Amino acid sequence: MSSATLIIITIIAVVLVLAVIGLIFLLARPKKKKPAPPPPARPIEPPAPPKFINDPPEARRQQNPPSLQPLRVETPLPQTDDGEQQKIRILVVDDNRGTTENVTRLIYFENDMEVIGQAYDGRQGVEMASELKPHIVLMDINMPDMDGITAT
């Protein structure tokens, strides 16, 4: 063997010995334990029960404390000729049928509102709005054929 080969083998052996010694020191040092976090200042409250869309409005109001109730200004609804209160008439316009159905279901449980129609694109929404004369039109902005901004 030449002297260059012996030097390379010696260097490799020294590097391996140093690596093993470093590994031994790394594994032999004591592990530091982190202190446990302090207990919470107040007990953790269990989560509120889920609210279901099929609950009547009275049940939903009882589940929510007054501070969580939506703010409503109690103004009387317009009266019809026969003395009944007139409901707020809503037209729902969205190209996603699932969204339209979900919004309709939500409004169904409101005593003072009713969905009078559903449209699935802007052009159909404009036609239905001129025909049905709703008080409110809930309309998606991005729709095929005619978007909500153009329809408005």
Average pLDDT, the chain: 77
**Cβ of 130: how many Cβ atoms within 10 Å?**
8
Pairing of strands 136-139, 113-119: unpaired
With respect to residue 146, please indicate whether it lies within any of the assigned structural domains.
yes
What is the token pair recorded at 66?
A: 């007054």
Indicate whether 88 belongs to any domain: yes
Within-domain flag for 104: yes
- Give residue 118's domain range: 57-62+80-151
Can you give the pLDDT at residue 69?
43
Give yes or no for residue 137 having a pLDDT over 90: yes
What b/e string do you get for 36-56 counting C-beta neighbours within 10 Å, with b at 16 or more? eeeeeeeeeeeeeeeeeeeee
- Collapsing DSSP to helix, strand or coil, 2 comes out as coil
CATH number for the domain spanning 109: value is 3.40.50.2300
Cα–Cα distance, 128 to 92 (Å, whole number):
10
Question: What's the number of domains the chain is made of?
Answer: 1
Q: State phi, psi for 8 to the nearest 5 degrees.
A: -65, -45
Note the pLDDT of residue 30. Answer: 73
pLDDT tens digit sequence for 72-84: 444 555 566 665 6
Tokens in use for 19?
A: 């690596």
pLDDT value of residue 55: 54
Res. 93 pLDDT band, cuts 50 70 90? very high
| Per-residue pLDDT, 60 | 52
User: What size, in residues, is the chain?
Assistant: 152
Highest mean pLDDT among 27-31, 36-40, 55-59, 144-148: 144-148
Domain contains 10: no
Q: What is the pLDDT of residues 82-92, one digit of tens each?
A: 656 788 999 99
Range ranked top by mean pLDDT from 33-37, 74-78, 133-137: 133-137
